[in-house]
Chains A and B, each alone.
Chain A
C-alpha cells in the first residue's frame, strides 16, 4: 500500500513547472506539505471538479503535462467526467486518483471502492487506454515517470493507506488563482 504524502513528494520532485490541480481535502493538503509551488491549484470545495478543471486546463496547454491529484470519493461524485475526458483524450493529461476507499476527512465512512467498485475498470470502460493500478511506491514511481514521458491521457489509480494529511494551504481563492495564473505566464483580464 502506498502513502499519499510519500507519493506526492515523488511527483513534485519529478515535475518542473507543470501545473497540478489538487482536489479538495487530503490531495491538496499533502500537495501543500510536499511543496507549496505556485503551479499548485488548491481546491477548497467543489468536490469532484478537479477532473473537469484538469481537462479544461489540459485543452489549453497541449505543450505541457497537466496533472490532476484526485480522491476516490471526489471522482465518484463526478464519474461522468471520465467519459468526457476519455472522449476528448488530451495526450498531456495525467489523472492520479488516490484511493483510500473511504471519506477520510469526514470520519472514514467507506466509499464504494471499499466494496466492489474498481475505478481503473471504470476508466477503461469510459475509454481510457493507459490505465494503471499501483499499490507500491516503487511501481508508482515507475508508472508516474512513464506518464510524464509518454503521451497519455493517463489514469493512475493509487491504492493508499488511510493516513490523515496535516498540511493546510492558503485559503484565499483569488490568491491561489492569481499565483497559479502568474506562474503559467497568464495575465488576468
Chain B
C-alpha cells in the first residue's frame, strides 16, 4: 500500500526551502501532493495547460525574487525539453521538478512506456541531476538533498516519484 506520509515530507521540504509557487500539469501521483498543498495557505498553485509553460513560469518567479517548483507527469518532460535546454539551463535557474513516473512498474498503458524508458536518458543528456523516490523512509532526505542541490547548482533538478512509492493505476 502506498504510504501517505511521503506527500507530507515533500510538502514540509517545499516549505523549508521557501518554495511557495507550485505550477503543475496533473497526474494521479501529483494529485496526492496537490491535495495537501491546496489545504495550506502557504502555497500559491498555478494550473498549466502544457508543461513547457511551467519552465517559463518558474524562471519568471525566480528572477522576480520568489521560488517555484514544477509538478509534471513523465510525458510532460517530453513537452518541456527545449524550454529546459534553452532557458532554465543556460540562464542557470534553480528549478525543482517533481515528476510522476509512468511507463514503468505496474503500467497498464503501452503508450506510456517509451517515454518512461526515455525519461532518465533525456535528463542525463541535459545533465539534469535526478533522484528517485521509492521508499517512504528515504523521501525526506532525498527531497531535502535535491532541493539543496537545485539552489546550489542553480539548475533544474528532478525528483522522480516512482509507482513503487506512490502506487499505480488499477486499470488492467
Contacts and interface: CB of A to CB of B under 8 A. Distances in A.
SS class, residues of chain A in contact with chain B? helix
Interface stretch (B35-43, B52-60, B135-143, B164-172): B52-60
Interface residues of B, number: 36
Contacts of A176: 91
B87 A43 contact: yes
B15 interface: no
B127 interface: no
A66 B151 CA distance: 25
B61 interface: yes
Given A45-B86, A184-B64, A56 B44 contact: no
Contacts of B107: none
Contacts of A52: 52-57, 60
A59 B92 contact: no
A54 interface: yes
Nearest to B50: A80
Contact of A49 (B23, B49, B59): B59
A164 interface: no
B92 A53 contact: no
Interface in A1-45: 19, 21, 41, 43-45
Contacts of B65: 60-61, 181, 184-186
A131 to B, nearest CB: 19
B63 interface: yes
Given A46-B87, A186-B63, A189-B151, A78 B48 contact: no
Interface centre among A45, A53, A54, A59 (most CB of B within 10 A): A53
Interface of B: 21, 23, 44, 46-50, 52-66, 68, 82-83, 86-87, 90-94, 151-152, 154
8 contacts: A43-B87, A48-B52, A55-B57, A80-B50, A81-B56, A176-B91, A186-B65, A189-B152
Given A58-B60, A80-B50, A83-B49, 7 more contacts: A44-B90, A49-B83, A56-B57, A56-B62, A60-B61, A174-B92, A176-B91
